[in-house]
Every structure is written in structure tokens, then in C-alpha cells.
Chains A and B, each alone.
Chain A
Amino acid sequence: MATTALEQELKEMIIDALELEDVTPEDIDPDEPLFVEGLGLDSIDALELGLALQKRYGITLESDAESSRQHFANLRSLAALVEARRAQ
């Protein structure tokens, strides 16, 4: 699957928000886990990422740990979340 414009935008947002200086957008595989494996982000990074999403797209999640884990699994799921919520 080709990278969509939104996915590209999110990659840049992640790199920017988390100050991942030695990572380029091409390094982020949309299907690879963002946390622990993959990019190796931790729980603080997850909070940071959530806040960046909130600030940029005005998204909030239902207070449910499980669903937020699903949404934050990889770039693809994150893009799906933004797509669904910002349309509302």
C-alpha cells in the first residue's frame, strides 16, 4: 500500500513532536508497531503523541485504555483514527 498524504503528514508530526532527529519519514513503516518494538517509543512518547494529535486535529479519545492502544498500534491505525474523527 502506498503512503497517503495523511500518513506522510503524521510521520512528520511524529518526528517533529518527539524530536526524532535521526529518523526520516521513510524510516517509519506504516505497519510496524510504533511502541516498544519498531520506533521504540515509550509511554511518555505515547502521551506526547496523543497531545500532538489533539492539538493538531482536535481529536480526543474515549477514556478506554484498550482502544487507545489499538489506535496507537502503528501509523496506519493512527491515520485511520484521524481520518474518522476529523470528518465528524
Chain B
Amino acid sequence: MTPANSDPQHWSRIKESGSAAGVRTMVWIRRRLGRLPFQIMMVLVVAYFYVAHRLHRRASKTYLARLWQHRFGRRPRHPSWLCLRHFWSFGQSLIDKIDAWSGTPPTLRFEGGARETFLAAVNSGRGGVLYVSHVGNIEICTAMSDLREDFRATLLMHTYNARQFDEVLARSTHRANPPEIIEVSEITPSTAMKLGARIAEGGFVVIAADRVPISDSGRARTLDFLGHPARFPEGPFWLAALLRCPVYTIGCFREEKGYRVDFERFDDTSALGRRERDAWIGEAMQRYVVWLTRQCESTPLQWFNFFPFWLDSSPADTSRDDETPTT
């Protein structure tokens, strides 16, 4: 029902790149041939995607142009180079993802009390909802389950493709304490009950709130993101309101050496009444977008959203910088 959902370019209508065979091949190369051939392979894959997928390239350039405008008040100086680096940053995140799943523990650096907040959250035994975004590497976050045995994560994923990627990865690699993955196209009472049970056991439900799923029957709100209107899903916020539990934000961002982990308290919905919900959802969504903006500002090339995101994808943002002939 929402404009974004009927859009043929909506992210969920586009097959996520990375077929099962492809993922298995990459894991095999990493395991048998080592890191260098694997990286060379990834460079080729990224170069191919950059050249072959105009839609992703344009989405990336729109995002980068809007972020630069928002942050520096001007357009990027070398948009195509920046865009290529954005693509490579995604390739790098796949390398890290495969490493993390293979049991090579990433170096994690907790910043500004993040470790204390994380430990307190796990130790409280109350579980909670963890909001994530497509900035940084969610998989690294869940690799924290290898560090703390009693940190149990359940990932809510929207698409079959994404789940398939992770399942192939799970089968081809070996991990002691892998996160549980639940594929949802819409939240049904049975899903809610399962998630309620996980939280009651002290587990954490991980959910990204920066993509609108297809079958969410129009439950989305338009918010200003980097100065332009974009649709954000209400679902993750309804879920947190209904589950009545602590809510946190978590992000993992690649730095020169290892990953920086950001873990903050977001809210606590335990005492949230039914009548306050609607107001809370509006206010919480606004705060989520502020948080998302901050993540994009701190690591501009790590927002891995290569799909048209804004309602006004004005061609002026991209066409000028798109050097590929379009005729």
C-alpha cells in the first residue's frame, strides 16, 4: 500500500546479490586458498557489481551526495571514486562477515562505556530489543555471542535472500554459538510469542529499523533523513512497545584495526501503557533516525543500503555524476 512498496525498485523486490553457490565458493576460497586470493577475488566481485549495477551505483551516489550536503554543505569532490570506495567497503564487510562466521574472532573495541552497558544488559537477565541499522556490520555484533556464552541473539530478517545467505554461511562454517535467525515478512502472533519467550529467557531480539518490509501493510512513517523525506518502518517500534522490555542500540563499525562497538541504552518499554504507545513510537522513530544519522556521519562509507531510499530520488542528485552512458 505504501508508495515504497509498490515501487519496482523497492529493495525487497530486487534479488539480493550473493547466490548460495557464490557464498559457498567464497567460503571455500577463504578456507583453502587463504586470505589474499580471497581478497583478490572480492576485488573482482566488487568491480563487477560496480560496473554492472547502475541502480546500486545511483543509489549509492544519491546517499553520498545527501550525506556530504548534510555534513559539509557541499557535494562530494570525486563522486565516482567515493562511490567505488563505498562499494569496496561493502566487499570488505563481506570478507569480515565470512571471517567472523568462520570463527576468526574480530578485534572489538568498545567505546565510551559500551562494554559496561553491554555486560549490564546481559547480566540483568531481562533480555531486550537491540536496534541495529545497515550501517556497519551487524554480523560482527552477533559474533559477540562467541565472546559471551550467555549472550543469545535472535535476528529478525525480512527477506528470504538474506536468510539464505546466512544459512549457507552457517552450514559452510562452524560456530559454537550461532545466532538464531527468524525470517519474517510480517509479525504474526506466533512470531511475537516466540520473541516474547526469547526475551523472557534473557535473550536479545536484533532488528534493523532502516528498511521498510514489503508486506507491512503500510505501517511506515515518513521522516526527514539527511534533509530529505524517507519511509521508516513502524514494525520494530511496535514490537518493542509490545514486548515491554529494555531497548538498546548496537552498531559495529570497521576501523583501521578491527571494529568499534557502540552499545547504548535506547529506552525501556516495561511501563509503557497502551495509550502512550502511539506517541512513544513517533518519538522513538525520530530518535532512531537521529542515531542513524550519527552512524552515517561517523562512518560515511558503511551504510550498506544500495537501493533507492528516499521518496524524492531527484535525478539531479545522481545523473550529473553518473559517468556511465545511459542511452
* B-side contacts of A65, CB under 8 Å: 188, 190
Chain A: minimal CB distance from B212 (Å): 17
The answer to whether A47 touches B189 (Cβ under 8 A) is yes
The answer to whether A68 touches B188 (Cβ under 8 A) is yes
Stretch from B24-32, B54-62, B192-200, B287-295 forming part of the interface with A: B192-200
* A-side contacts of B200, CB under 8 Å: 54-55
Contact A50 B274, CB 8 Å, known A44-B242, A55-B200: no
Contact A58 B188, CB 8 Å, known A48-B242, A51-B243: no
Contact residues on A (Cβ < 8 Å of other chain), bracket: 20 to 34
Q: Does B238 contact A (CB under 8 A)?
A: yes
Residues of B near any A CB (own CB < 8 A): 182, 187-194, 196-197, 200, 238, 242-244, 273-275
The answer to whether A63 touches B194 (Cβ under 8 A) is yes
Query: Chain B contact residues: over half helix, strand or loop, or mixed?
Result: helix
Query: Chain A contact residues: over half helix, strand or loop, or mixed?
Result: helix
* A-side contacts of B244, CB under 8 Å: 51
Closest partner residue, chain B, to A43 (CB atom): B217
Cα distance A55–B270 when bound, in Å? 13
Contact A54 B197, CB 8 Å, known A44-B238, A48-B242: yes
The answer to whether A50 touches B238 (Cβ under 8 A) is no
Cα distance A58–B192 when bound, in Å? 13
Closest partner residue, chain B, to A55 (CB atom): B196
A50 is contacted by which of B182, B189, B273, B275 (Cβ under 8 Å)? B189
Q: Does A27 contact B (CB under 8 A)?
A: no
Chain B: minimal CB distance from A58 (Å): 7
* A-side contacts of B238, CB under 8 Å: 44, 47
Chain A: minimal CB distance from B47 (Å): 40
* B-side contacts of A63, CB under 8 Å: 182, 188, 190-191, 194
**CB-CB contacts of A37-78 with B at 8 A, as 1s and 0s?**
000000010111111011100111111110110001000000
The answer to whether B197 touches A58 (Cβ under 8 A) is yes
* A-side contacts of B187, CB under 8 Å: 47
The answer to whether A61 touches B193 (Cβ under 8 A) is yes
A53 is contacted by which of B188, B191, B193, B275 (Cβ under 8 Å)? B193
* B-side contacts of A59, CB under 8 Å: 193
A19 is contacted by which of B192, B193, B274 (Cβ under 8 Å)? B274
* B-side contacts of A49, CB under 8 Å: 189
The answer to whether B197 touches A50 (Cβ under 8 A) is no
* B-side contacts of A55, CB under 8 Å: 196, 200
8 A–B contacts, CB within 8 A, in A order: A47-B189, A47-B238, A51-B243, A54-B192, A60-B197, A62-B190, A65-B188, A68-B190
